[in-house]
Amino acid sequence: MSRSEVVRLREQIRLEYEASQRIFTDFTPTAKHTYITRRQENIGACFEELSKLLSPQEAIVIVSETLNASHSPCASSESVS
């Protein structure tokens, strides 16, 4: 398993998800469906690449964790100590 490739794919999933969330503020209604579909397809392609490096179960865990972390309101906030 190439750890750097897994890290790269995790980052790509995060970026695709965040891009899909911008649709609610940055696009016209007619462009939304196509844009979201493309982002979902890109996340699916990342899952397929991860499945070649890891088991499908491990790959879906990474996708799920990445999407959940991106969805969390604290995901992009820095910790305050």
Please indicate, yes or no, if residue 78 is contained in any of the structural domains. Answer: no
**Cβ–Cβ under 8 Å, residues 21 and 34:** no
Please indicate, yes or no, if residue 76 is contained in any of the structural domains. Answer: no
Residue 71 has pLDDT above 80, yes or no: no
pTM: 0.68
For residues 9-30, b (16+ Cβ closer than 10 Å) or e, as one string? bbebbbbbbeebeebeeeeeee
Residue 80 has pLDDT above 50, yes or no: no
Q: Summarize pLDDT for 15-69 with one digit per residue, the tens.
A: 988 888 877 776 666 667 788 889 899 999 999 999 999 999 999 999 999 999 9
Query: Total domain count for the chain?
Result: 1
CA distance linking residue 47 with residue 64, whole number of Å: 10
Residue 40 main-chain phi, psi, to 5 deg: -65, -40
